[in-house]
Chains A and B, each alone.
Chain A
């Protein structure tokens, strides 16, 4: 099956801990994105990558880091600097980065703080 796989589905973070969310796609898409979703709000862009070994900050990048060493993979690390990490995190991809591209989403990771 082609698609985007996010893991784990649920993740718990202790104070001061860094955690990494996985995102893998087999759609051969160039662009990948990380969004944060809070209850009752729209999606907010954390980071995006247009091509391997390149990524750009989105609107709320502080406290997060990413890497794009392979086309298929775009992991997100939530660092201890992110003081309010509890949210639903969504990874997405698109064929390119033109404005008419539609996004394909993974099923999300719910991150909570212990």
Chain B
């Protein structure tokens, strides 16, 4: 399969704690994107990190990329109940612009 993989598949934490999700991929990439999906809804773009970048921040989100290990991580700090959602990584292949999607991490924030 050319799909990426996220781990863990599911994560349940207390509100206020930090949540870390990981994403691995198999081929060379041009960039890696993270999206959030609330249950039964469409996906929302969170952040894009290019292959020549190692870390990127957006509000409470921090994304890292390690191209030598073909992996990325998404950290959500000071989690809130509204962060409950599934999180997906997608990477752009070097050969064309189509995105390869992971199976997602389901994050549950307990109040």
- A105 neighbours in B (Cβ, 8 Å): 42-44
Instruction: Check if B45 is an interface residue, CB within 8 A of chain A.
Output: yes
Q: Is the CB of A90 within 8 A of B42?
A: yes
- B44 neighbours in A (Cβ, 8 Å): 105
**How many residues of chain B get a CB closer than 8 Å to chain A's CBs?**
28
* Tally of contacts, chain A with chain B, CB under 8 A: 61
Instruction: Check if B22 is an interface residue, CB within 8 A of chain A.
Output: no
**How many residues of chain A get a CB closer than 8 Å to chain B's CBs?**
26
Q: Is the CB of B92 within 8 A of A103?
A: no
Q: Is the CB of B97 within 8 A of A42?
A: no
Given that A42-B3, A45-B98 are known contacts, is A99 also in contact with B42, CB under 8 Å in the complex? no
Bound Cα distance A41, B106 (Å): 12
- B60 neighbours in A (Cβ, 8 Å): none
Residue among B9, B50, B101 facing the most chain A CB atoms (10 A cut-off): B101
- A90 neighbours in B (Cβ, 8 Å): 42-43
Instruction: Check if B13 is an interface residue, CB within 8 A of chain A.
Output: no
Residue among A6, A40, A99, A103 facing the most chain B CB atoms (10 A cut-off): A99
- B33 neighbours in A (Cβ, 8 Å): 102
Q: Is the CB of A43 within 8 A of B41?
A: no
Q: Is the CB of A108 within 8 A of B40?
A: yes
Instruction: Check if B75 is an interface residue, CB within 8 A of chain A.
Output: no
- A98 neighbours in B (Cβ, 8 Å): 97
Say how far A107's CB is from chain B's closest CB, in angstroms: 5
Say how far A59's CB is from chain B's closest CB, in angstroms: 8
- A45 neighbours in B (Cβ, 8 Å): 98-99
Q: Please name the 6 residue pairs, one residue from A and one from B, whose CB atoms are nearest each other, closest first.
A: A105-B42, A42-B101, A99-B92, A99-B30, A102-B45, A43-B101
A-B contact pairs, 14 of them (CB 8 A): A6-B42, A41-B103, A42-B103, A43-B90, A58-B98, A99-B30, A99-B92, A100-B31, A102-B45, A103-B45, A103-B99, A105-B42, A105-B44, A107-B41
A: residues with CB less than 8 A from B are 4, 6, 40-45, 48, 58, 88, 90, 92, 97-108, 110
